[in-house]
Structure 1
């Protein structure tokens, strides 16, 4: 019995010793411990727990723990407490508590219930700092993710794939932003996880190997920047490659296409500007704020006879603007006066000197401008040779007078102005006209040149026509002008009114033809149609129409002649006026219709040639010789024609009608465009 008591006492002493150790650990633990009843009431807690709850130990016992739990975490705490008393294991949660010092702390609770389920022991650890860090990391990640996705440059992050020897084979795209996907024209989902060789920017072309960039960046210890042109996208990129870790490579892509285009435009603009300045047929000079020459273009140097090194840095007064040698003149005062004049008048005539001492009159236009810093004024002066300019001005005025003359007569004829209106308008241009008139219309053969230089040939031909037109301009009363039908000339002969006839008109037209040859036309390359006044009220427009008809239809009646008068058309004058009317066409159809409708073109042309010879009035012998046929063939063809046309070719009336129809048909075929 004493042995049992002794054992019991020893166990109690051991338990007391363990309790002392437990109490010591409980009281001095660095984490908070709290004992709760099954109803959540605080029954016991250690000093660390009191500190967390912000109140002395004895004042906390008996309080409800959920009174310290923050409102948002109250439901989570209740669920945690319920789990403890319903399970045999340990449970944990993380909640916010409001201690008695009005501080919000985040604590981690971990504990379990006693065997009798009447109490539970909880361990409280302050996780406020780690919770803030965690929330900060989540916030920063969200912030940087937003920044990453809204970058205005492309970005891609790659995991490198290497072989056994450490050589880079390829890379896998781990991250990329929307701008990079937009550059490639593909959805972002199609890029992530794919190999760079399959979907990356450099996969679009085979002319660039990106892999050495890794070694260059590692060797340099800093990012590598380079320019890259993607031919497929037709875009320029400024790319920065850097190595964030040994297994990764990142790229930043900036689209510089617009900048490159602007740079190229600036280069091209500067090139054109330099070309314009250097090749301009005008003096271009730049003066600094002191009046010293800082630039002069090649034309100006040639005009004044200087080399560039002889002028640059020299005052404009002396070499360019003449000084009076008999007077002592202060250059600074002269330039001050010069600047004052510029503010009032930007343009003026100034007598200048060439290097050889020759006086020249230059028309200067001067503009003051600031240099790019805005500090120093510069003066840009553009000068032209006033004498040469006046000569050019006279040429321009002459060209305008000529154009007004051409427009007047072409418009007057096309609108068929009355005789008095056309004469009155011509008088305003200094052209005096009074009947009778001779009107000539010249058609000049164009020279056929070797192939090539077609554009220049057209310019030369137009220039030659203009020269011939001016050469035909009468010294006396009259005018010459260019039309779509050729070159027209009207001559006025008031003193020859009583003797004006077709013979005199032909003589005058022959003089026009000779003068055209004298000034560039080929010897046999001029055809002339002419007409003359037959009564005082006959208009120039009517005579032009007659000359045009003579030029157009005269060769049908007399192909060998190169000069045709309106009178040469004879009774065909009445026909040509109505040549395109329905009545005239019906007359040709009535006389020649069956022959013209033959299917065999060769036979038709053969019979038409025979018919022309038959109605010409020549003898049978002459006709057979001209057609190179036998007499019996002629007889056979004549009978065939009579059968086709259902006529008697021995009838004078029939022959006359057919001859007229044939001429009308030829005139229609030979007529030139007119309007």
Structure 2
């Protein structure tokens, strides 16, 4: 056949019947493809697999059978085959469009001067599924092995294996954690006996020999030693493994930490000992009997009753011990009853000892075996002789109280309430009534008992009393008391009603006429007393034992500036009295001292305060009264305002000394006199000024008050400062005086060396400020602190350091209240130079364009934006701080860079600008401080 014929119509090249039969019967797909891809031949397997007829297949190309998503190069892969077979996997399409996996085997052959491709195609859907199942099986097997390994390593118990010489072959993670070792520190390094206590080593050797001899697993308790030397108990189980020749070559062991079990066993033993001790020392009779009524145990409480030792009871019955017949019968019957019923039984036994009657309450309880059969009977006998005697006494008293009930002067009746189907109260039946009630109702007892309340009404005697409302109130609220007036009898009655049991009511009628008349007179007297107290121009106050104000007259409330609701019920120390007065006196101690002087009048001068915080001096006359009935303590006090007199006395006493001290020390800190002149002047004033020392410069709250105050307010402010200076000088020690910047305290240090550490300074400063809180009355203490040194021992120099710390540190560290000169670091140099010409030139060079802006924004706004920009924060963060839009921040930044001629993103520029801003703040602060 020529080449042209091969490219023409399809002909069957397989004329050999044998090969034709083989190709038709093979289960694989056989295709013969021309070089242009046209299918030239297809067997029956191809037709059934692809869903096409053979005639349809011969009209297709081999590329038409490939999957839709395959690239063209993949579809033409079969044409790359040569004489050697090309095997690869791909996907083919069924006639309905479904894809399925296939394995293709291609070979190129020459036929009549043309190339044809012999292709064998096998459907490998089942092969893929089988391979996937095998992979899944491998994964699950590996996962199971990993899970078993994790379970072994992290099991709650320890596992290890040993060579016959005792060295470790392996150990799981749990046991390693118990011991505190790493794996490389144990395997091949340690032996098992190395981690046992000395006592456990001998025990383990004997145990291991026994396990080998018996050839089975055994258990024993051992004590292991951790790496840190601590000991813990374990329960170990060991199995020795033999090789093929029958010789032992290693061991497998499991360990369980039994620390908790040991503690539990020790707890049980302690509990048994405790309960045995309780039984042995109990006053109750405790005995245990077997089924034959023989004693198994008896506690010592039986000895004084039976007159024989407790050992004589064991193994014997009561009859054999010849105890009283009644006692023997009751015990035997009780034991037999417990054995028959399997339940506890209670009995009461009366016994006479030396003609003295004794009564016992017996409780017999069954004790069971683990199979629920009764093992023994426990008998507990309690002496209830006194209880029976009390019951007899109660019976006798009941007769007395019944007699008292009949002859009591107050009316009493007992009723049962009657309700309808809706549970509404409609009436009651009188069950009991005494003679007084009958006299009130003007009826006999027989005419009242068993009658309804509606028949025996007291409306004519007590018209204000509503019986139905009274019953309802008792049911809803409990015991109720109502006071009402009887017009016919012209008497007041207190009607007390309560319900002792459900649907029953007890009512007591008490004549309170005399009490009501006395209360009326008392109210009239109290009214006159209150009018007198409220009209007096003095302070009258009553305080209870807890220090709470329970009364103050109107003039006193007006004087202190409180309303009645603000003061009554509040503590005196939180309102009108400070905890410490300006003299440092603890007013709580004064109050406690007044409690011990009952009945006598005492005068006491103390410092108080008004609602506005103003300090006043009150001359109090106190008297303590104890209620003889309740024992309640009350302090009654009358006070006179002596503030003006007290101020005059204090000013006259301390004014000259304070003024001389202030003038002397202000002269030295302003360098108007030398240190030597100071020492001479201090000696005349008896002031001790000698290094080493600490200077605390405190800013007083009054410095923040406006300067344009009235003369009276200025005098009051100066008086407060003078009083504070005097109190600090007197209570704390050292030397205290007023300066332009505040109050200065020069406090000597309790050391001999001139070299003083910051730690010593802080200890002294904190101790002083803690004492100052007494006088500051809740206000914050803010101050600058410095101390003398070998280089700086002049008071003027140390004071300047404290002053600069107080003025400038709030600019640098506003969150602190106390500022130490030594903690300022390099800023100490800046303080001395911040007002120099060079510093001003530095500020002007970097910030000059912003200090005098020309129509480009407010100076404060520009500086505030610049301070935020140099922090390096985002525009959004800066916008939130300045309360502007982030785009506004970007615009302001560009404007600043244009005005200053710099790049604000440069680290060097930001550092220079930051220093300039600090210098500007310090310069403004020191300037304002100098002006003040």
What TM-score, normalized to structure 2?
A: 0.28
Name the structure, 1 or 2, with higher relative contact order (CA <8 Å, separation 6+).
1
